[in-house]
Amino acid sequence: MAKYREQLQGMGFGYDDVTAVAYRKINNIAFIVRVNPASKEYNVTAACRPAKDGMIDPLRTALHQFASQRQNMLKTAFFEGKQIHICYQITSDITPGVNDAVNFIMYCVNQFECTPCCSVCGRYGDVDVYSIENNVSALCTGCYGTLQNNVVENILSDSSIRMNYPMGVLGAILGGICGALIWILFSVMGRIGWMAGLVAGFGGVMGFKWLGKKISTAGIVLSIIISFIFLFMGMYIAAGIDMYNALTAEGISVTFRDALDLIPYFMQDSEYTGTLIYNNIFGIITFAATSIASAIALIKESKVKNRSVKLT
């Protein structure tokens, strides 16, 4: 995303790092560019519409012809009533495509008598680009005021909710237990339980948030520690089951508790330890990746939640 941000800024666009959206006003027309590497596309939108209804169909025809002429690089181009949308296939350099879209939209503005309008209510007049929570839009002052009031109400509502640490810890424990049980089940089935790491990593963090109502940075760290402890217990129990089955198959009479106690002794053997690590490493990696991804998602959510910023 960094290279696309630099390319867009080099074209005179502002860039909102929180929402990863570029914006610019040209002749009072608000342009917004969203780059989505996951879907391999980027979208250029302009908040404007023809002042005369009779110009809408010709505008849509022009957009269709524009898309037909650029099938090798363009996914779609259309007018949905309040905004012109042009979507391109992503490349290493998006500058040509963005310039192409901006130039064509400005041609449409002049050719079909398009004027700035609010992307929410469609009212003609001056608009500005605002970031409301995780959404960047071209808004009139009336719609911005309404959305701003909603943000204020959300802030007041959130401030009245206190984080319930005991319930949050319970949620993390439940997430960890689910991961441990899945790990044991997969072990009995003779499979590597990477899914257990996924469940424990996601369930621990999100379980804390769901039952605790809120989650802080300390809560994220605590939930990861708790869920990993239970996941480790599941791994240890699974290793004990394997040990018990192996010994009883050799005709050695042991209890399951004996099998668990023998694990540290057998770990002195490098071959056994290597096998144990191999059987568990994928689940641990999955747990770490899922926990980090969940934490990043929550941190990002906290940055955009109840956020209201004028960008232009």
Verify that 124 and 26 share a domain, yes or no: yes
Phi then psi dihedrals of residue 92, to 5 deg: -65, -30
Which pLDDT score, from 0 to 100, does residue 247 have?
85
Q: How confident is the model at residue 155 (pLDDT cuts 50, 70, 90)?
A: low
Verify that 104 and 221 share a domain, yes or no: no
Domain termination site, one of 158, 187, 207: 158
Which pLDDT score, from 0 to 100, does residue 10 have?
92
Which pLDDT score, from 0 to 100, does residue 191 have?
65
Verify that 185 and 51 share a domain, yes or no: no
Verify that 142 and 13 share a domain, yes or no: yes
Which pLDDT score, from 0 to 100, does residue 57 have?
92
Tell me whether residue 113 is in a domain: yes
Which pLDDT score, from 0 to 100, does residue 103 have?
93
Residue 248's nearest CA partner among 259, 263, 239, 233 is 259
Verify that 149 and 33 share a domain, yes or no: yes
DSSP secondary structure string for all residues of 226-263: HHHHHHHHHHHHHHHHHHHHHHHHTT----HHHHHHHH
Verify that 249 and 292 share a domain, yes or no: yes
Tell me whether residue 312 is in a domain: no
Tell me whether residue 237 is in a domain: yes
DSSP secondary structure string for all residues of 159-192: HTPPP-HHHHHHHHHHHHHHHHHHHHHHHHTT--
Number of domains in the chain: 2
Q: How confident is the model at residue 84 (pLDDT cuts 50, 70, 90)?
A: very high
Q: How confident is the model at residue 99 (pLDDT cuts 50, 70, 90)?
A: very high
Distance from C-alpha of 158 to C-alpha of 175, rounded to nearest angstrom: 25
- The string of pLDDT tens digits covering residues 190-203 is 665 677 788 888 88
Distance from C-alpha of 102 to C-alpha of 259, rounded to nearest angstrom: 70
Tell me whether residue 174 is in a domain: yes
Tell me whether residue 310 is in a domain: no
Tell me whether residue 232 is in a domain: yes
Tell me whether residue 44 is in a domain: yes
Pick the range with the lowest mean pLDDT from 16-30, 99-113, 158-172, 232-246: 158-172
Verify that 154 and 14 share a domain, yes or no: yes
Domain termination site, one of 129, 158, 187: 158
Distance from C-alpha of 82 to C-alpha of 77, rounded to nearest angstrom: 14
Verify that 188 and 212 share a domain, yes or no: yes
Asked whether the predicted pLDDT for residue 85 surpasses 90, the reply is yes
Q: How confident is the model at residue 33 (pLDDT cuts 50, 70, 90)?
A: very high
pLDDT (mean) for 22-30: 91
117 in helix, strand or coil? strand
Which residue would you say has higher pLDDT here, 29 or 135? Answer: 29
pLDDT (mean) for 289-294: 87
Asked whether the predicted pLDDT for residue 151 surpasses 70, the reply is no
- The string of pLDDT tens digits covering residues 201-249 is 888 888 888 888 777 788 888 889 998 998 888 888 888 888 888 888 8
Which residue would you say has higher pLDDT here, 54 or 304? Answer: 54
Which pLDDT score, from 0 to 100, does residue 154 have?
63
Verify that 129 and 180 share a domain, yes or no: no
Residue 95's nearest CA partner among 21, 26, 24, 7 is 7
Verify that 214 and 122 share a domain, yes or no: no
Tell me whether residue 309 is in a domain: no
Asked whether the predicted pLDDT for residue 265 surpasses 80, the reply is yes
Neighbour count for residue 63 (Cβ, 10 Å)? 20
Verify that 6 and 154 share a domain, yes or no: yes
Verify that 152 and 212 share a domain, yes or no: no
Domain termination site, one of 158, 173, 193: 158
Distance from C-alpha of 194 to C-alpha of 220, rounded to nearest angstrom: 21
311 in helix, strand or coil? coil
Which pLDDT score, from 0 to 100, does residue 86 have?
92
Q: Which domain holds residue 113?
A: 2-158
Domain with 20 in it: what CATH number?
Answer: 3.30.1460.10
Work out whether the CA dihedral 297, 302, 305, 309 comes out positive or negative. negative
Which pLDDT score, from 0 to 100, does residue 38 have?
81
